[in-house]
Amino acid sequence: RRQRAGSRDLFFSSSTFNPSVMRCLTAFLTLSLGALDQFRTDKVTSSYDPAKTTGKWYEVLFVDPGQIGASCQEFTNEFNATDGTFQQHFSVHYGRIPFSQTYIFEQDPSGEKGVYTKYLTGAKALLQLPTVVVDVTESDGQYSLMTTYTKKVVVGKASVQELRFSSRTPSLDNATLQGMVDVARKVGLNEDIIAKLKPVNQTDCPSLAMVLV
């Protein structure tokens, strides 16, 4: 049977199957999901506990094209011990207009600590973002600092990258921030994305009640 270019029959038909193509696709998907696991500290690879990310957080430094023009970035994590996933309820303000959405962090099937696939609730089929926890700092039984990195390679287009430094408090001193940056460099994150880090404006953040009045 002749295969038609531009048709889904190029790889599959009712009577044929191209295993070479499937191997290539599988290798590509494995690479795109697994290549980020190198960007984790030994602390994360050995003892990361997602339950300790539960609760409220503030972004303090970020690189994320979806947050251009945003301020007052904060989120709340809810951990599901049954399947190892957690929901992240993320909110920002654009000017004085609030915006929020919820992400699911689904644990990678490999079982590697701190390796996830992130997607918007109800939109898993549209876009899945490979994400890793780069580093965490623990205080009083909970993580007080967390760095995450996301990278999605889109064939034929530029990759999508996010680098987020988060804290339990809206601001951090310069020494703490520099320490988080140093760790990002140490694990091998590209200097180009580190140089693009921007501080979050957490001052004069309007409450939701003030906006709705």
DSSP assignments along 170-200, one per residue: S---HHHHHHHHHHHHHTT--HHHHHT-EE-
Q: Which of 108, 128, 134 is nearest to 45 (CA)?
A: 134
Element (H, E) at 72: strand 71-79
Tell me the average pLDDT across 84-100. 94
Residue-level pLDDT at 154: 72
Query: Among 150, 146, 157, 161, which residue's Cα sits nearest to residue 65?
Result: 161
- Predicted confidence (pLDDT) at residue 13 exceeds the cutoff of 60: no
Per-residue b/e over 45-79, b at no fewer than 16 CB within 10 Å? Answer: eeebebebbeeebbbbbbbbeebeebbbbbbebeb
Is the pLDDT assigned to residue 36 strictly greater than 90? Answer: yes
pLDDT category at 157 given cuts 50, 70, 90 is: low
By residue count, the chain amounts to 213
Structural contact between residues 197 and 180, judged by C-beta atoms closer than 8 angstroms: no
pLDDT value at position 156? 63
d(CA 206, CA 201): 12
User: Rounded mean pLDDT of 30-43?
Assistant: 77
This prediction's pTM = 0.81
The kind and range of the H/E element at 210 are helix 208-212
CB 51 within 8 A of CB 141: no
Per-residue pLDDT at 90: 97
Angle among Cα 173, 175, 181 to the nearest 5 degrees reads 105
Lowest mean pLDDT among 19-33, 55-69, 100-114: 19-33
Are 149 and 134 in contact by the 8 Å Cβ rule? The answer is: yes
Q: Could you give the maximum distance between any two Cα atoms of the chain, in Å?
A: 67
Average pLDDT (204-212) is 54
Structure-model confidence comparison of residues 203 and 208, the more confident one: 203
